[in-house]
Amino acid sequence: MARFRYSGDRPRVLVCMAFSLGVTLVDGWGYKFSIPIQESIVPSIVLGLLLVFRTNTAYERFWEGRKAWGTLVNTIRNLSRSIWVSVAEPGPQAHQDKIKILHLLVAFAVATKLHLRSQPLNEEIWALLPESGYRKLEDLNNPPLEIAFWISNYLQREYDQNNINAYQLTAMLRLVDTMVDVLGSCERILKTPIPLAYAIHLRQLIFLYCFITPFQIVNTLHWATAFVVGIIAFTVFGIEEIGVEIENPFGHDANDLPLDQICQTMQANLEDLIQLPPGTRSPMGNSVCDPISTLGTRAFPLLAQKTIT
Residue 7's pLDDT is what? 52
Q: Taking the CA atoms of the chain, what radius of gyration do you get in angstroms? A: 30
160 in Cβ contact with 39 (< 8 Å): no
Q: How far is CA 289 from CA 84, 280, 282, 284, 286, in A?
A: 18, 12, 11, 12, 9
Quickly count: other Cβ atoms within 10 Å of residue 129's Cβ: 23
Q: How far is CA 242 from CA 88, 195, 298, in A?
A: 51, 16, 68
DSSP 100-143: HHHHHHHHHHHHHHHHHTTPPP-HHHHTTS-HHHHHHHHT-S-H
pLDDT tens, residue by residue, 34-59: 666 666 677 788 888 888 888 999 99
Is residue 146 predicted with pLDDT exceeding 90? yes
pTM summary value: 0.79
Tell me which residue of 112, 191, 114, 119 sits closest to 148, measured CA to CA.
112
Tell me the pLDDT of the chain averaged across its residues: 84
- Band (pLDDT 50/70/90 cuts) for residue 303 is very low
Residue 170's pLDDT is what? 96
Is residue 192 predicted with pLDDT exceeding 70? yes
pLDDT tens, residue by residue, 67-93: 999 999 999 999 999 999 999 988 889
Which of the residue ranges 129-133, 175-179, 209-213, 292-296 has the most confident prediction, judged by mean pLDDT?
175-179
> Mean per-residue pLDDT for 98-107?
94
User: Over pLDDT 70: what percentage of the chain?
Assistant: 84
